[in-house]
Structure 1
């Protein structure tokens, strides 16, 4: 009998890692310094790891009206995200479009009903996209052929995961 060993898709492994880190991190302690996100990521942490030019920070004009989750808005303004990583690439536009906006000028795949409040954050690989729920700040994984699946994480967990992976793979 021939047994074939199949390895999980790297994208699914990445999604599981992000979800696991969200569970391990747990909620941030309450108090005046609390960010409202799962992990407290100092703004300088990403800049030190990826270089200032390698971190994309956003301004209020970059946010669609659908992004109402203030802790996520604050994180994207103050800390930002690595604009390019082996696992993730920020959406190439300087603004964060909703799914409806992202597919307005091209043949659209079947968009989910909540496309007006889901923001295209970036790409994990083709055809997988990372979405941000504008109301809750939750991250979702989506391909045009499927319904968005929650990753049980938020923007801080994504940034921390990318920082951790970059440090593990780029240091002796």
Structure 2
């Protein structure tokens, strides 16, 4: 039985490596001994040292980090689950309703592996998170006219509430943004989103529908301060951070105003900033129904990958803001 299980496991890891990578899992070239009779097939592709185990006696597959949680009832369904995620991630265009696509995937999985969709604490929530969140990647569609994503005011207002998405009239947009038409157009036609982790300026609430050029208020100026527009602030534990829009290239930055001021990237443009806020709102709604934060670090890794697909600037490098925000379970931004 054990020799047969090892043979099956070896064939699986050799055949499903690229499919697993699309689901953020890494399969080893050959299965390894775990020391308790289990076989290690691979690991989850983020910081937590979580491994994928196969029980040769039962054929079941587990996620293991201290405790073991069911990942699949067997290698055959494990492969099918990986294929589901890859298909959702690789959608090639055309009409797309992310919630309909996600629920259709959940329905397919219920037919062959219903146990992995339960909220039982002994079942890994990774598949619930993956099947629900990856379809969100394709919801906005490609952007036009210098913006990365084709988000609309209507979509954001429907999901977040109309009072949370505020269009800025042209007369209330600082003149410095005349040099970056895509940003000016997004502010006027789509609007700014009042949703975590962005905080509107308490002295200039978003309901006023007006923006000001950046004023460092006596603090050390960031580079190119005269070309920056303040959108509000972002939540960073223990720090005051301004959210700034660059009128030269449309990028969004954070500016620490503490003892060691620092400018760091937030988003490539206003569309991907709004997309990140919308993602968080959708995840919170899904969590209330499907308890996807039961695998918090897995959910954070999926969100980071989704956002990074449309905006690598937002997630790469040591100063990247979003991976730390998504992964901060103590802060609880993703809880519904």
The equivalent residue for 2:170 is 60
Superposed counterparts of 1:57-136, under 5 Å: 57-67=167-177, 68-83=179-194, 85-92=195-202, 93=204, 94=208, 95-100=210-215, 103=217, 108-125=218-235, 126-136=239-249
Identify the residue that residue 167 of structure 1 maps to in structure 2.
282
Structure 2 stretches lacking a partner, 5+ long = 1-47, 49-136, 290-336
**1:32-71 superposed matches below 5 A:** 34-67=144-177, 68-71=179-182
Q: CA deviation at 1:28?
A: 4.1
SS at match of 1:130: strand
Aligned partners of 2:174 and 2:211 also within 8 Å: yes
Give structure 1 stretches of 5+ with no counterpart.
Answer: 1-6, 8-23
How far, CA to CA, are the matches of 1:152 and 1:47 in structure 2? 21
SS in 2 for 1:41: coil
Task: Check conservation: 1:138, 1:153, Cα contact below 8 A.
Answer: yes
Q: Which residue of 1 aligns with 2:58?
A: none
Give CA-to-partner distance per residue, 1:42-99, whole Å, 9 cap, x none.
221111011112211101122111112111111111111222x231123342322222
Contact 1:62 1:96 in 2 (8 A): yes
Q: Does 1:148 align with 2:267?
A: no
Q: In 2, Cα distance between the equivalents of 1:91 and 1:48?
A: 24
Question: What's the TM-score once normalised by structure 2's chain length?
Answer: 0.38
CA distance in 2, matches of 1:37, 1:89: 23
Instruction: Please say which structure displays the higher CA radius of gyration.
Output: 2
Post-superposition offset of 1:41 = 0.5
Q: Distance in 1 between matches of 2:223 and 2:283?
A: 39
| TM superposition shift of 1:37 | 0.5
SS in 1 for 2:226: coil
Query: Aligned with 2:283: secondary structure?
Result: helix
Give the distance between the partners of 1:152 and 1:158, measured in 2 at CA.
6
**Pairwise CA distance, 1:130:** 1.3
Question: Quick one: distance in 1 between partners of 2:149 and 2:223?
Answer: 30
Cα distance 1:118–1:43, how it changes in 2: closer, same or farther (>3 A)?
A: same
- Residues in 2 aligned to 1:120 and 1:150: alpha-carbon distance in whole angstroms: 14
Distance 1:128-1:51 versus aligned 2 partners, 3 A rule:
same
Q: CA RMSD in A?
A: 2.4
Equivalenced residues, count: 139
Give the TM-score normalised by the residue count of structure 1: 0.71
Q: In the alignment, which residue of structure 1 is the partner of 2:251?
A: 138
Quote the Cα distance in structure 1 between the aligned partners of 2:271 and 2:212. 20
Q: Which has the higher contact order (CA 8 A, sep 6+)?
A: 1
